[in-house]
């Protein structure tokens, strides 16, 4: 447990985590009174855990516990399906791994009473690790702990459970910077490694597809299609480039990231997550050879791209295509002409219009401070269509990183907040 706490909060020299970040993370999974399946977030910080957990149906208890179980299964690397849960224990038992009542406090208490930030608990309260050895048993135990997940520290107990199940060393090996903590110690924001851990099961520090080499360093990214996607306002500002594994998830649900907060965008339109068309696959493969997203690759890489797509790649044919795709002899191949040449007139099957919903767990970011889903309609325009600008909000700029010509019509007077 001590190692878990240090991984989350960093190595402490005094009384645990800084009071402000720890206080902001001290909450359970609590549903909104005005939106039965919307989880509330009391303060900034724990959206890194709450947003990936957000449920979508009517049965609160079963859906919440099912979602928590699925995230633990995603994090599990054990072939034997061994899972570890962090829970409160009031027993004093030498065989049980116990810690201080404050989940941010790595050192055992020496006093008879501990004062956590915002709450006091007796010394008999402690953290213990509970191990289960099958998926079936995991789901039963998670369901039995429903009250614990909803009570104070429920979010942190679940986070610690994910870490214990994944394995502390496995997480440290996936994070690039060994000094990085999963929760930023000053403002309490969840790190990108934490977000990726919950979305993909890997605590990679980057959002691109696969790993990349840079100056002899191996920079780790996402290795397979995620169940829930991720889009970020930072990409619209050209600070990063989210790969297809996060942009095109298994389900039409996306976590939206601003500079300081996470919210959720989702729809029931399953055509958005249909299997990749050949042209979409070609675009993804082409972009792996264009890591800086310039829209072109050196002509010398054309043969590699064609081989990766199982296209005819005989040297004579590749040279012919180079001449056709680079008639001015600039030594580059543009993405657009490449797709037109090899994958012309392919329809994606995505409708031009569909209903969408946005969720923000912070009360103060919702109208009348009531956490509710905001419903809207999406219009996907082609680049040749006349631009009908509906707004220029952070939500729209974030979504434009996946759908460049998206327009949004919300049922509310104001657009939903990304912060």
- Helix residue spans in 26-167 (DSSP H): 47-53, 60-75, 135-144, 146-150, 154-166
CB neighbour list of residue 273: distance below 8 Å, 6 or more residues apart: 248, 249, 250, 251, 252
Nearest to 31 by CA among 12, 48, 8, 53: 53
Q: Distance between alpha carbon 104 and the CA centroid of its chain, in Å?
A: 23
CA atoms within 13 A on the CB side of 369: 3
Query: Is 47 annotated as catalytic?
Result: yes
The DSSP letter of residue 39 is E
Q: Distance between alpha carbon 410 and the CA centroid of its chain, in Å?
A: 25
Alpha carbons 343 and 340: distance in angstroms, whole number: 6
The residue annotated as part of the active site, out of 47, 76, 372, 398, is 47
The residue annotated as part of the active site, out of 65, 261, 372, 398, is 261
CB neighbour list of residue 369: distance below 8 Å, 6 or more residues apart: 363
Alpha carbons 260 and 222: distance in angstroms, whole number: 22
Alpha carbons 256 and 398: distance in angstroms, whole number: 7
Alpha carbons 67 and 379: distance in angstroms, whole number: 30
Nearest to 69 by CA among 48, 46, 85: 85
The DSSP annotation for 357-404 comes to EEE--BGGGSGGG---PEEEEEEE--TTSPP------HHHHHHTTT-T
Two tokens, residue 90: 């009031």
Backbone angles phi, psi at 161, to 5 degrees: -65, -40
Alpha carbons 264 and 255: distance in angstroms, whole number: 5
Is 53 in contact with 142 (CB distance < 8 Å)? Answer: no
Query: Is 261 annotated as catalytic?
Result: yes
The residues annotated with a catalytic role in the active site are 47, 261
């Amino acid at each position: 447990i001590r190692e878990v706490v240090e991984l989350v909060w960093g190595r402490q020299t005094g009384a645990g985590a800084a009071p402000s970040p720890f206080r902001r993370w001290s909450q359970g999974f609590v549903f909104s009174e005005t939106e039965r399946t919307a989880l509330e977030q009391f303060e900034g910080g724990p959206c890194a855990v709450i947003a990936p957990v957000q449920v979508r149906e009517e049965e609160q208890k079963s859906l919440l516990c099912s979602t928590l179980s699925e995230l633990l299964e995603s994090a599990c690397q054990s072939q034997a399906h061994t899972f570890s849960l962090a829970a409160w224990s009031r027993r004093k038992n030498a065989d049980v791994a116990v810690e201080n009542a404050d989940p941010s406090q790595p050192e055992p208490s020496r006093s008879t009473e501990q004062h956590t930030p915002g709450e006091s608990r007796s010394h008999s309260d402690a953290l213990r690790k509970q191990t289960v050895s099958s998926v079936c048993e995991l789901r039963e135990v998670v369901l039995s702990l429903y009250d614990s997940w909803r009570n104070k520290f429920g979010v942190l107990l679940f986070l610690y459970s994910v870490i214990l199940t994944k394995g502390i060393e496995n997480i440290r090996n996936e994070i690039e910077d060994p000094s990085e903590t999963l929760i930023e110690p000053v403002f309490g924001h969840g790190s990108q490694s934490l977000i990726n851990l919950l979305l993909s099961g890997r605590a990679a520090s980057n959002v691109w597809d696969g790993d990349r080499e840079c100056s002899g360093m191996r920079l780790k990214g996402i290795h397979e299609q995620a169940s829930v996607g991720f889009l970020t306002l930072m990409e619209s500002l050209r600070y990063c480039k989210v790969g297809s594994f996060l942009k095109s998830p298994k389900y039409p649900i996306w976590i939206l990231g601003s500079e300081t907060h996470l919210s959720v965008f989702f729809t029931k339109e399953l055509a958005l997550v249909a299997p990749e068309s050949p042209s979409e696959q070609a675009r993804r493969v082409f972009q792996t050879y264009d890591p800086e997203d310039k829209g072109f690759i050196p002509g010398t890489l054309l043969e590699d791209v064609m081989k990766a797509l199982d296209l005819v790649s005989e040297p004579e044919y590749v040279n012919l295509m180079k001449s056709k795709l680079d008639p001015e002899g600039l030594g580059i191949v543009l993405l657009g002409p490449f797709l037109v040449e090899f994958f012309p007139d392919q329809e994606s099957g995505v409708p031009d219009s569909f209903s969408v919903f946005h969720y923000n767990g912070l009360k103060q970011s919702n109208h009348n401070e009531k956490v509710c889903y905001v419903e809207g309609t999406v219009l996907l325009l082609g680049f040749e269509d006349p631009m009908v600008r509906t707004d220029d909000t952070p939500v729209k700029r974030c979504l434009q990183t996946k759908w460049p010509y998206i327009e949004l019509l919300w049922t509310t007077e104001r657009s939903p907040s990304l912060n």
